[in-house]
Amino acid sequence: MISFLMRRTIPRCRAYSSQTTSELTKVEVNEKTGVAVVTLNRPPVNGLNVAALRSLEKVIGDLETNKCKGLILSSSSKNIFCAGLDLTEIYKPDQEKLKSLWTAFQDLWIKLYGASFPTTAALNGHAIAGGCVLALSCDYRVMVPNSSIGLNETELGISPTAWIIASMQNVLSKRSVELALLQGRIYKTNQALEIGLIDEIANDKDETIKKCEEFIAKYSRVQSLAFSLTKRELRGKAISELTSNRQGDLQFFVDSINNPSVQKFLEKYLQSLKSKKN
Ligand SMILES: CCCCCCCC/C=C\CC(=O)SCCNC(=O)CCNC(=O)[C@H](O)C(C)(C)COP(=O)(O)OP(=O)(O)OC[C@H]1O[C@@H](n2cnc3c(N)ncnc32)[C@H](O)[C@@H]1OP(=O)(O)O
């Protein structure tokens, strides 16, 4: 069950009625500000499987319906924000599950990137691949020191699809996007700040959330309708490009993952992650 701490005094933020989302995503809404802290909660690394993606998508949909004031995306892990798509779901995949995974990721991106309220990522640790996409889909990113962030897909042998590139282009210069994507580069916190991949550094998780709250507070005098219409103008093109080509995008993903050389790499990659501890 999702835990809600709903405010009673902000008239535009109604109490949630849905209780169907699982513990995969926890939600707390600040009674005073109406800002929701949404916590990814799939240990050990918040790997994104279909259930986790759908859970987060539903939460964002509920926040949208309830006209909350802003979102802070965080993680229950001590040092990992999100390690991206669950690699065990894309190695030797069940084909139907693979399609569901990508479709759920597309749906989540459309909701998060297009959210009509301010969105922030409180990066209390690593944000790799799909984890970086979640961060890039928000309006603002605050990260703790000694963490890493980036899109390493080319290292995995797959190429980021148009909407993922658009999310990065929305944040970085064209030159930085080229370097980041073509090299499949993962940036340390300081480097990420230098190129603008994150907006601020915070000392710890609490401070990431505080800084995200401060960012959202800057919008308190902005009319919600003007905010959402302006955001739609800025981001709508990338979203409609995906919505008009969802099937093609899905097929590209499925073909990429099923490529024997990608599967071979994934096998070695998963082994290397496991053998780190030995
Ligand atoms: C259209 C064509 C395709 C377009 C694709 C582009 C789209 C891009 C979007 C998504 C793609 C992806 O997201 S693919 C996922 C890629 N993710 C990664 O490469 C991250 C891999 N993980 C790490 O680098 C590290 O785990 C970490 C830095 C995140 C944390 O390191 P730490 O040392 O703290 O932890 P461990 O490495 O020991 O991990 C603990 C535990 O978790 C397992 N693990 C890690 N990552 C994943 C994952 N993504 N999915 C599933 N499982 C994962 C790891 O193997 C360990 O397991 P064990 O405890 O069993 O050993």
Interface pTM (ipTM) of the complex?
0.96
Across the chain, what does the average pLDDT equal?
91
Q: Which residue's CA lies nearest to atom 57 of ligand 1?
A: 274
Name the residue among 235, 200, 203, 226 with its Cα closest to residue 214.
200
pLDDT band at 6 (very low <50, low <70, confident <90, very high): very low
pLDDT digits (tens, 9 = 90+) for 53-108: 999 999 999 999 998 899 999 999 999 999 999 999 999 999 999 999 999 999 99
Looking at the chain, which runs of residues are DSSP E strands?
25-29, 35-40, 70-75, 80-82, 119-123, 126-128, 140-143, 148-150, 186-188, 200-201
Distance 239 CA to ligand 1 centre (A): 26
Quick one: tokens of 63?
A: 């926040």
- Ligand 1 neighbours, Cβ below 6 Å, are 44-45, 47, 80, 83-88, 126, 128-130, 133, 152-153, 158-161, 164, 252-253, 256, 273-274, 276-277
Instruction: Give the least confident one: 4-18, 26-40, 201-215, 246-260.
Output: 4-18
pLDDT band at 251 (very low <50, low <70, confident <90, very high): very high
pTM: 0.93
